[in-house]
Amino acid sequence: MLLLLILFPLFAAGLSLVLPWYRVRSWLLPVCGGLHLLLTGYLVASPGAVIGPWIGIDALSRLVLAVTSLLYFGCSIYAVGYLDLRRDRGNRTMVPCLLAFLSAMTLAVTARHLGLLWMAVEATTIASAPLIYYNRNRLSIEATWKYLLLCSVGIALAMLGMLFVAYAAMVGGNVPVSLQFDVLLAGAQALSPPWLHAGFVFLLVGFGTKMGLAPLHSWKPDAYGEAPGMVGALLAGGLTSVAFLAILRAMQLMIAAGDGAMARQALLGLGLLSLLVAAIFMVRQSDLKRLLAYSSVEHMGILAIGVGIGGLATFGALLHLVNNALTKGCLFLAAGNIQRAYASKRLSEVRGAMATLPISGGLFLAGFLAITGSPPFGPFISEFTILRGIFAGGQFWVGLVMLLLLATVFIGMGATVLPATQGEAVPLETGFHDSLLLVISPICFLLLILLLGVWLPEPLRIALTDAAALLEVTP
């Protein structure tokens, strides 16, 4: 069943390579996305953990799988409308790469073997590079090159971290030398601490590069800025969550070995740094998509802080993962529409989006309010939960710094988004108008985060509690 979930997008990717019809190829995306979502829904709803030696589902992967699948389905519907607009660029590479990307993400989420996890994450890098290069101009080459090189080197370091963990088993004795996650988890106490710590640091750096935690985020604004909107949505909402899951796996190991405190401190430090860096670069940022990229750095920081604090904040961070993915989906898709309409993503050209493009402009403004943590949207609840966890944990200064930086981000982001959305309507030269396919997904994402802001469904609460419990086990 799980294997099917990983293999059928790959099969569809192969199919899309030979299909000669443009529209059929485009429609293959939502068909696969929908099928993936259905299967995921079935798997997530069936209770109990299914864990094999290679792939399996536990509470954490269940959560991330559901989120990425939902986001992917939304983006795939948008993709049909988008690819219709971009007939000049074609979809011959876009569709197979998007499908392979889905397969690699699913594999990464469900992997129970660290080596397999590594392979899958590296495969997501390779599959997404052609997506970033979609526009085929100088800027997108530069972005793709930085993305490929930085992420590949980062992932190579994660590989080293993984080998260190295996070496920890070898030096520690008493544990079978293996990279199977459950074997490692069971024998975590016997792992040699120095090697395990070194392994954790390298895993954090490696997957942190992929996730875009500062100071390893430098590829992010370029890649998100140059990639098409829906690719940005998939990277910022889906791929970052997958990389975060990989970091959480390393964290689970550290906690099982009784070194959770060190891991938490490392995450907390990186999280605060990310928040700081993002806040600095968001002020006076005149490029809408780069602004969103820094917002992604900021929210990765918030996730890291939440898990770094632990307790209630872990629950908040996992809820924030859901909220962030959906909000980023809404924002990037809306920003994509605005860019198509104005043929620009810079503040110097984009003015009066609300009046010119009522739906996309409105969605962008609402998404901005949501992502900066304004009530009544979901991110408000999750950020509030994290802050409550911080203050309850007695980390007064951390809470204060975080509040201050969140306020800075709100002002910095507002200074760009408000002028772009408010004001008089401008005549568009591109002839772009909001069509159903291009707005339905961001509207649904926005409604979902609005729903999550006012009401947390019981099944989701249980899923979050179960997932948080995996990170709270004290030996």
Segment contacting other proteins (CB under 8 A): 142-150, 330-338, 344-352, 358-366?
Answer: 142-150
Strands (E), 303-381: none
**What is the number of other CB atoms lying within 10 angstroms of the CB of residue 32?**
25
The length of the chain is: 475
Q: Does 148 bind other proteins (CB under 8 A)?
A: yes
| Contact status, residue 375 vs residue 452, Cβ threshold 8 Å | no
Contact between 133 and other proteins per CB under 8 A: yes
Of 129 and 251, the one with the shorter C-beta distance to other proteins is: 129
Told to check if 415 binds other proteins by CB under 8 A, we report: no
Mask: binding to other proteins, 87-116, rule CB under 8 A, as x and -? --------------------------x-xx
Site for other proteins in 282-311 (CB under 8 A): 285
Measured between alpha carbons, how far is residue 316 from residues 236, 357, 382 in Å? 19, 34, 5
Query: At a CB cut-off of 8 Å and minimum separation 6, what does 364 contact?
Result: 331, 334, 335, 338, 353, 417, 420, 421
Smallest distance, other proteins to C-beta of residue 117, A: 10
Shortest Å distance, C-beta 133 to other proteins: 7
Which of the stretches 149-157, 311-319, 333-341, 354-362 binds other proteins when contact is defined by CB under 8 A? 149-157
Site residues (CB under 8 A) for other proteins, limited to 205-224: 221-222
To the nearest whole angstrom, how small is the minimum distance from the Cβ of residue 102 to other proteins? 17
- Tell the smallest beta-carbon distance from residue 267 to other proteins (Å): 24
- Smallest CA-to-CA distance from 268 within 389, 109, 410 is with 389
Q: Kindly give, in sequence order, each residue whose CB lies less than 8 Å from that of residue 412, ignoring residues fewer than 6 positions away.
A: 279, 282, 283, 284, 285
Q: How far apart are CA 461 and CA 388, in angstroms?
A: 17
Which of these ranges, 6-14, 128-136, 347-355, 428-436, lies near other proteins under the rule CB under 8 A? 128-136
Radius of gyration of the chain measured on its C-alpha atoms = 21
- Closer residue to other proteins, CB minimum distance, 127 or 467: 127
Nearest CA to 216 among 137, 173, 171, 157? 157
Of 41, 194, 215, 375, the one binding other proteins (CB under 8 A) is 194
Under rule CB under 8 A, residue 186 binds other proteins: no
CB 49, CB 56: distance < 8 Å: yes
**Backbone torsions φ then ψ of 9, nearest 5 degrees:** -65, -35
3-state class (DSSP) for residue 475: coil
CA–CA distance, 225 with 143 (Å, rounded to integer):
8
To 10 degrees, what angle do helices 138-172 and 193-211 make?
A: 160
Q: Per CB under 8 A, which of residues 456..475 are in contact with other proteins?
A: none
Give the interface segment with other proteins, choosing from 9-17, 44-52, 68-76, 146-154 (CB under 8 A): 146-154
User: With respect to other proteins, which residue has the nearer C-beta, 62 or 290?
Assistant: 290
Candidate residues 10, 15, 35, 119; the one interacting with other proteins per rule CB under 8 A: 119
Which C-beta is closer to other proteins: that of 192 or that of 408?
A: 192
Chain positions 224 to 283 lying near other proteins, rule: CB under 8 A, are: 225-226, 281
Say if residues 160 and 275 touch (Cβ distance below 8 Å).
no
Residue 157 or 321 having the CB closest to other proteins: 157
Cα separation, 438 vs 359, in Å, equals: 10
How many binding residues for other proteins (CB under 8 A)?
47
**Residue 119, exposed/middle/buried by CB under 10 A (0-12, 13-18, 19+)?**
middle
Residue nearer to other proteins on the CB measure, 148 or 398? 148
Does residue number 192 form part of the binding site for other proteins (CB under 8 A)? Answer: yes
Please tell me the distance from the alpha carbon of residue 349 to that of residue 171, in angstroms, as a whole number.
Answer: 61
Q: Which of 112, 146, 210, 217 binds other proteins (CB under 8 A)?
A: 146
Q: How far is the CB of 227 from other proteins (least distance, A)?
A: 12
| Residues 219/206, Cβ–Cβ less than 8 Å | no
**176 in helix, strand or coil?**
coil
Q: How far is the CB of 434 from other proteins (least distance, A)?
A: 29
DSSP symbol at 343: T
Smallest distance from other proteins to CB 112, Å: 12
> 156 to 185, contacts with other proteins by CB under 8 A?
156, 159-160, 163, 166-167, 169-171, 177-179
Between the two ends of the chain, the Cα-to-Cα distance in Å is 33
Widest distance between CA atoms in the chain: 72
Minimum CB distance to other proteins smaller for 43 or for 223: 223
- Options 12, 67, 129, 370; binder of other proteins; rule CB under 8 A: 129
d(CA 317, CA 265): 16
Q: What value, to the nearest 5°, has the Cα angle with vertex 236 and ends 231 and 241?
A: 125
With respect to other proteins, which residue has the nearer C-beta, 349 or 396? Answer: 349
Q: State in angstroms the smallest separation of the CB of 335 from other proteins.
A: 17
* Interacting residues with other proteins (CB under 8 A): 113, 115-116, 118-119, 122-123, 125-126, 129-130, 133, 136-139, 141-146, 148-149, 152-153, 156, 159-160, 163, 166-167, 169-171, 177-179, 192, 194-195, 221-222, 225-226, 281, 285
